[in-house]
Amino acid sequence: MTEEPGADQPDDLMERVVNLCKRRGFIFPSAEIYGGFRSTYDYGPLGSLLLRNVKDAWWRSMVQERDDVVGLDAAILSTPRIWEASGHLTNFTDPLVDCRNCHERWRADKIEGSCPNCGSTDLTEPRAFNLMFKTFAGPVEEDATVAYLRPETAQGMFVNFVNVLQTTRKKPPFGIAQVGKSFRNEITPQNFVFRTREFEQMELEYFVPPPDAPRWFEYWLDERFSWYRDFGIPEDKLRLRHHDADELSHYSAATADVEFLFPWGWDELEGIANRTDFDLKAHSAASGEKLEYFDQTSGERYVPYVIEPAAGATRTMMAFLLAAYDEDEVGGEKRTVLHLDPRLSPYQVAVLPLSKNDALVPLSRQVLGQLQPICMCDFDVTQSIGRRYRRQDEVGTPFCVTVDFESLEDGAVTVRERDTTEQVRVPIDTLAGEIRERLGR
């Protein structure tokens, strides 16, 4: 029998997960053949599938399964006017200190008075450092052509508020959702993909009548907390942390973070904020365009408040990996297993011919062809069947389908489940339906 997922996690869990990510093709250090590039990472064959599933799971619950949220995919490059109005040009800064001894640079709020590198307390006064990546749009590098890579996806929703309102005929309460890359010139990228300079966000801006904002804030706290739990993060590794008044951003009336118990302690997965009408009013003032809602039935005109659940896709993927990682024993043999929710697993099914025998491979390919339209499948003919089961367990594949010599006689295959390792015989004719049912599709 297997243990409870997540029980008895090893002290060096982080190292084991990072090793697994490299070894099995989830996450590679970027530009590795050139010695790597400043805490950037590439998502490999399995990582790109897992990351895509995390984003799809978010999109499904935030957009597809609701009738009050629409999607958006805004530009990454944009005019400084957006960042001037949003406050990012002046406020989006980290306080930096330099160590006068070893010349390393640190975020003042992340160290406790001494340099983590050499221990010296001879540090400069903190200076503000803007986190936005600056570039130039066009061939001439001058002030007039300055552009920024977006440090969050949110502003795309605010500047398109009227476009979306007019084209969708939505009315508050309604939301605009976006998933995409954001960029921050972090001083201290760290903890693998937890904090990187290039990352992916999943953000919703939910526009509501101002008096209803506190109620919707509570609603989104519940929704978002449940989402992580429903996708397999154990409740004892999840918590909501409300920000104190002195911690709130300049635009926020209330903020709470969904936190995960990372190997180094509790840390943020997602921030949920009541941003009031700050953003729409700021862009309205700066652009001269009215960003408001006119209710034709009541004749009322107002600037909606915004509740923003803002999550990180890459950071969340890492939390799912950490929560799913387990080592247990099956039949007296040790194995590494990822107890990922099947909706998140890179592959849902692995089709495994018992041997490379000429008769088995064609039937196995036929089985593969039946399953590929339903879910992501791996096909593996190398090594012993036991080794192949372990390889699939290690990357979180919930079902292995084995085609053996008996299959040629009885037209059935063996379906093995990852967590229990239970095996049942299923006729090939009904296999697709069985897999669909087990995956809830």
**Nearer of residues 186 and 419 to ligand ATP, judged by Cβ:** 186
Find the binder of ligand ATP among 310, 395, 400, 401 (CB under 6 A): 310
Choice between 237 and 335, CB closer to ligand ATP: 237
128-165 residues labelled b (16+ CB within 10 A) or e (exposed): eebebbeeeeeeeeeeeeebbbbbbbbbbbbbbbbebb
Amino acid identity, residue 124? T
Q: Which of 270, 326, 393, 404 binds ligand ATP (CB under 6 A)?
A: 270
Residue 40 within binding range of ligand ATP, rule CB under 6 A: no
CB of 33 to ligand ATP, least distance (A): 24
- Least gap, CB of 296 to ligand ATP (angstroms): 35
Number of residues in contact with ligand ATP, rule: CB under 6 A?
16
For position 269 contacting ligand ATP by CB under 6 A, the verdict is yes
Does 186 participate in binding ligand ATP (rule CB under 6 A)?
A: yes
Angstrom distance (rounded) from CA 133 to CA 139: 18
Residue whose CB is less far from ligand ATP, 224 or 416: 224
- Residue 184 within binding range of ligand ATP, rule CB under 6 A: yes
Instruction: Out of 56, 98, 104, 152, point to the residue binding ligand ATP (CB under 6 A).
Output: 152
Does residue 58 interact with ligand ATP by CB under 6 A? no
**Tokens describing residue 401:** 């389908």
- Cβ closest to ligand ATP, residue 196 vs residue 392: 196
Q: Does residue number 195 form part of the binding site for ligand ATP (CB under 6 A)?
A: yes
Nearer to ligand ATP, 27 or 311 (CB): 311
Q: Which is nearer to ligand ATP, 16 or 241 (CB)?
A: 241
Among 53, 153, 276, 314, binds ligand ATP (CB under 6 A): 314
Question: Which residues bind to ligand ATP, rule: CB under 6 A?
Answer: 152, 184, 186, 195-196, 199, 201, 268-271, 310-312, 314-315
